[in-house]
Structure 1
Amino acid sequence: WWWLVWWDTTSFFLADRGWDVFTLHYTVRGPLSTMLEPSMIKYHMLFKRLWALKHVEYVVCSKIWKDMICHAKLLRSMKKDLTAITIPLQFYTSTMIHFIQQIQYYILFEVIECSWMNMLERIEKARALDDILEAHQEFLKDAHDGAFFNLNANIFSTMDSAFSACLKLEKWQQNFYDLCMKELSARKAEEEMIKISGVKGKYGLTADKRLERDQERKLFEECLPKLNCELKVIVKDFETHARTVLLALASSNDHNLQLFGTRLDFNEYYKKRDQNLDAPLTFAKLRVSSMMVRQRNSNNRYNN
């Protein structure tokens, strides 16, 4: 059997882009169709979720981060003017990368990969077709639950809002670097004009050129604080949704989700900024409480 990626024209909207209209379809024949065809919708749903994660990862890791590295070299001469923005931008981007990659790793390896291995073990022990179908349905259920469908759908909805903030950061960064490159080109042109005038024996710029250049520089300097405020709004939106996700994970009865939440906030960056994250029974507290229970049980056995 084989798979095919195709354009989902049935749910196409004018605002959609290439990332939005891709879907996954399995084309199978024979006995495998008995197992896959009834479950095709669930595979479509899983693919959409993983594809959305891959989209955000590509934007943050391959576009935002790489553009940041490239422009850091190009704009080295403007470092003093841009440090107040570029340093926080690097920190915020690193935070987003960690958040996205941990979610992707959890769904792909801790959920889908483990569920797949469990299904293979059950298939090897199967004695009838019904056993195989049951193992496959159990795999899909575990994959969907672990990918934040069903009961945990509200958690991924909040994650999706955090991802939207990451996509907004891409547009913001593009505007920021366009402005910086325009200013850099103007400064280089100014230096070139000064050199040319020096060769001709006319040192410096004319009064009109100097006035024009001063106005351009003033506009550039006025735009930087505005861009900095826009960046803080985007980051605040992202962190608000990230803290909501962490709160939902910490409040979950599933120990795996609680552990996943502690890994998302491994250095307690969000916890230090939100007192609500101290309220629920986190995985660390559960571990301590379970250790205390085991200690009491061992003491009781010793006393008896």
Structure 2
Amino acid sequence: MPTRLETLLELALRTSTANVDPYKDDLKVDLLPYDLITQLFRILTIETKQEKDYRVDPTDLHLSGLESFSFDYVVKWPVSLVVNRKALTRYQMLFRHLFYCKHVERQLCSVWVGNKVAKMYTMQKARWYSAAFALRQRMLNFVQNFEYYMMFEVIEPNWHLFQHNMDTVSNVDDVLVFHTDFLNSCLKDCMLTNPDLLKIVHKLMMVCVTFSNFVQRLNQSTTVEAEVSRLTKENSLQALGNKPTTKEDIKKKAAATKVVSEHVDQLVSSENFERTITNFDTNFSRLLLDLLDKILDMSSKNYDHKLSNIMYRLDFNGFYTERLEAVTAQRQSANAAGLDFPAAGGARMRPASFTGLHAEAARRIPANLRSSTSSNGSQ
């Protein structure tokens, strides 16, 4: 284990409210040789034919520190009767899932910071850069609402229920049952026990990370941030020296801004940038529609109202309703004809680019509000 990680963990514990916790030294940092998706599929597909697909040699995995990072805990007897290795593994999986989602959110927020800097420049061909802004916002909306769903609609209510049940226990067996039910409910409602949903969520996160890296590389290549910091530093030095800004300095700043803006225009207006943003948009829309379609189908079949709550979060304004209605209609037609219907993002449905060629689609009126809007307009 890297000494620096252990030092940072100790520093974080001793500079927080956990400093008074007598068990803080039992918390450890661990770098696992496999990522979360491999760990989960090894458990979910054990003793099946699919198990061979996830027997990956750790030396073949190229993991980053974020993907392999996890916590561990030294549990002493008699607490180890309840918080055993099986329970700790479940806690680890929940933490790694939330931790990676938080990492994706921070990456998208970093893209937002770069976008704020880029908006200082007047770009004549900002069509596809605006499409990238809109796509980043859709990705951030998905990641944040997915996090809020897991934290405030799954983990927190289940934790309160677990505390309430603990007030009624009379023996260790009851504690084991209630604790196991708590962990199983969290894993199930966070989609960590469903291979189909887990695959889609993992792919969505990968698309978001790849998109963030692409836009950040673009911002770095244009040297926007470096140019702004240099100009800011010059202005600060002038302010410290009480030297008034001359017309020549203003002209230099305007000329530098123009050069950077033209360079950004040249990159953004290229066909490669246009094609890349369209591909990101298409892949993200296809996967998100596939996720919403599967959630809707599962919640209706299994009467799982908890899982359907994420539908209201991700499609709160009916943005994807029309698309999902078309998928449902085609599935019913295929079932009536005895045909296999693919997923919402399958080959029979043309993937939609919501914020690419049709950026105005983000401002469309939801289907459930069209009738009232059209009647008001006719009056």
Q: TM-score, normalised by structure 2?
A: 0.59
Distance in 1, matches of 2:221 and 2:96, equals: 35
Shift in CA distance, 181/240, structure 1 to aligned 2, threshold 3 Å: same
- Contact (CA 8 Å) 2:197, 2:294: kept in 1 or not? yes
Q: Which has the larger radius of gyration?
A: 1
Task: Pick one of 47, 50, 55 that aligns with 2:95.
Answer: 47
Where structure 2 has 5 or more consecutive residues not aligned to the other structure, the ranges are 1-22, 35-57, 228-247, 249-258, 333-379
Distance in 2, matches of 1:230 and 1:167, equals: 14
Correspondence 1:30 to 2:77: yes
Task: Pick one of 246, 256, 259 that aligns with 2:292.
Answer: 246
Aligned residue in 1 for 2:272 = 226
* SS of equivalent residue, structure 2 residue 29: strand
* SS of equivalent residue, structure 2 residue 99: helix
Distance in 2, matches of 1:218 and 1:134, equals: 60
Task: Pick one of 257, 261, 272 that aligns with 2:311.
Answer: 261
Aligned residue in 1 for 2:213 = 171
Distance in 1, matches of 2:268 and 2:132, equals: 19
Q: Percent identity?
A: 22
Task: Pick one of 160, 167, 174 that aligns with 1:117.
Answer: 160
- Contact (CA 8 Å) 2:204, 2:284: kept in 1 or not? yes
- Contact (CA 8 Å) 1:126, 1:132: kept in 2 or not? yes
Shift in CA distance, 117/169, structure 1 to aligned 2, threshold 3 Å: same
Aligned residue in 2 for 1:181 = 223
Distance in 2, matches of 1:87 and 1:268, equals: 22
* SS of equivalent residue, structure 2 residue 83: helix
Alignment of 1:83-232 (within 5 A): 83-150=126-193, 152-181=194-223, 220=266, 224-232=270-278
Alignment of 1:285-304 (within 5 A): none
Shift of residue 140, structure 1, vs aligned partner: 0.8
Where structure 1 has 5 or more consecutive residues not aligned to the other structure, the ranges are 186-194, 196-212, 282-304
* SS of equivalent residue, structure 2 residue 270: helix
- Contact (CA 8 Å) 2:31, 2:68: kept in 1 or not? yes
Amino acid at match of 2:320: Y
Shift of residue 53, structure 1, vs aligned partner: 1.1
Q: TM-score, normalised by structure 1?
A: 0.73
Amino acid at match of 1:181: T
Amino acid at match of 1:148: M
CA deviation string 1:155-211 (max 9, x = no partner):
1210110111101111210232234337x97xxxxxxxxx8xxxxxxxxxxxxxxxx
Aligned residue in 1 for 2:13 = none
Amino acid at match of 1:224: S
- Contact (CA 8 Å) 1:250, 1:277: kept in 2 or not? no
Aligned length: 249
